[in-house]
Amino acid sequence: MTNRFENEYVTSNYRYISAYNELNARTSQRQQGLTIFISFFVGLLAALIASHGAAGLSTAHIEWILLGFPVASASFTFLNFKYELIITNIRAYLSTLEQLNDAHLSLPSYNTDMHWIVNSDHARRYHDYACAVLIVACNSIGLSAFYVLYPERFHASGWVITVVAMIALVCAAMHWMLPRFKTKKWVKH
């Protein structure tokens, strides 16, 4: 006995709709990464300010709070890279679907036509630039708050400050340079 669904398959229209829904979900998750980063940063800043009362204790190690800033920055960067790769992959898949039976030659194709691809990629870069600026600003605010609250400990915590500053700069540079990491071509030749 054969299965009555044996010769059925998901059409390209349904595949396209499904992939586009996935693209929208990943784009939303990428935006939510900003919220997570800011929430984590505000929490660390609040902990730094709240710990000011413990500064009189010689055994209090406030510097550990500062180490949360590079963790937040690196996690945010890795999440953004993950979502960018997924978004790029889905758009390449959508481009393949748009080119079935040479449909892209007679219909506008958002993921195949270089005019749309360039404009879309250019617009997506502003997210990366905003993330780079945000990382530098948040880490600078965190280090500035540490300096204002604990000026005597600031100079004694050189290695922590160096780690925070270096990771912030690397993460910001990675966001700024994200377009250069993309090597995949969209359009089939």
pTM of the model: 0.83
Q: What is the pLDDT of residues 61-78, one digit of tens each?
A: 788 889 999 999 999 999
Asked if the structure places residue 81 within a domain, the reply is yes
- Residue pair 157/60 in contact by the 8 Å Cβ criterion: no
CA–CA dist 18, 164 (Å, integer): 41
Q: Name the average pLDDT for the chain.
A: 86
- Asked if residue 187 has pLDDT above 70, the reply is no
Asked if residue 5 belongs to a domain, the reply is no
Task: Specify if 4 maps to a domain.
Answer: no
Q: pLDDT at position 7, please?
A: 64
Read off the tokens for 158.
Answer: 């050189």
Distance separating alpha carbons of residues 135 and 37, to the nearest angstrom: 9
Mean pLDDT of 70-93: 93
Q: Which domain holds residue 150?
A: 12-181
Q: What does the pLDDT average to over 152-164?
A: 89
Tell me what pLDDT residue 109 has. Answer: 86
Q: Kindly report, residue by residue over 165-183, the tens digit of the pLDDT.
A: 999 999 999 999 887 766 4
The pLDDT, as a whole number, for residue 59 is: 53
- 7 within domain boundaries: no
Which pLDDT does position 114 carry in this prediction? 87
- Please give the Cα distance from 168 to 127 (Å, whole number): 17
99 DSSP 8-state letter: T
Provide, rounded to the nearest whole percent, the portion of the chain with pLDDT above 90: 54
What's the total number of domains in the chain?
Answer: 1
Give the pLDDT band (50/70/90) at residue 55: low
- Tell me the H-state helices in 51-113: 63-66, 68-98
Mean pLDDT value across residues 152-171: 92
User: pLDDT tens digits for 18-48?
Assistant: 999 999 999 999 999 999 999 999 999 999 9
Whether 91 maps to a domain, the answer reads yes
What confidence score (pLDDT) does residue 165 get?
A: 97
